[in-house]
Chain A
């Protein structure tokens, strides 16, 4: 019995190991409609660069644009932007919230 339950445990662990999807972190969610109406990621990174940001990486997360980079003030952060308005919604540093737009 104990052997069986351990086997089962091992099987569960193996399946779990193998099947973890790269999930969204989901700090912020955007309801911005279909992606065809979004501004391009490049537009956002160009805009940010002009404002003094250094963008290391940008991607879509939770329906928003998520940007890893350095703010004009020099903080290494993770920031979320609305994909249609490109408005800044959230700025955080390893989970510490530096800015959060009301309602998000």
Chain B
């Protein structure tokens, strides 16, 4: 029974919704204001993005381990969740700022425009996260999805400069950067036995 639930892809989507429930609860009950929602929504978006991006480097480092394969089959859900939490993040930003003038006044701060551009580049990635787009775009689909690398860089800069503090951003990004570096510098493991 547990195995059936675990292997159900819809159950995985539901699992990715869980943090949102915990994040939104104190806002819904009026204990926190929109401003307080910016940090948790942004952080979960970055976490899911990094998780989705870390799977390929992990696969080349570790080889085809069952858990990894299981996760890779669900990578689309991770990416779409990262986008959904980013949308939540933007919605709370707009609620918090409350008017266009204030948003324009700070637009050119390094911590702000990087967030806007990351969001903008994220849209086509999310919109093409489906089988129809994959088939239609053929090889172009992968090229398009590689845009997630500049998005991640923008997110890192956004995070560092909005928070005036390197630590939380680096805690999330350094393990990922090490993984990507390891993928480049260590010899690849064959994905399939005998290959």
Q: What is A's interface to B at a CB cutoff of 8 Å? A: 2-3, 6, 9-10, 12-13, 16-17, 20, 23, 25-27, 56-57, 68, 70, 75-76, 93-96
Contacts and interface: CB of A to CB of B under 8 A. Distances in A.
Given A16-B171, A57-B36, A94-B112, 15 more contacts: A12-B175, A16-B175, A17-B47, A20-B168, A20-B171, A23-B167, A25-B164, A56-B33, A56-B35, A75-B105, A93-B106, A94-B111, A95-B110, A95-B111, A96-B109
Contacts of A6: 58, 61-62, 182
Contacts of A10: 175
B61 A95 contact: no
A70 B171 CA distance: 32
B165 interface: yes
B119 interface: no
Contact of A93 (B33, B109, B175): B109
B178 to A, nearest CB: 6
A96 B105 CA distance: 11
Interface of B: 33, 35-36, 47, 58, 61-62, 96-97, 102, 105-106, 109-112, 161-165, 167-168, 171-172, 175, 178-179, 182, 186, 189
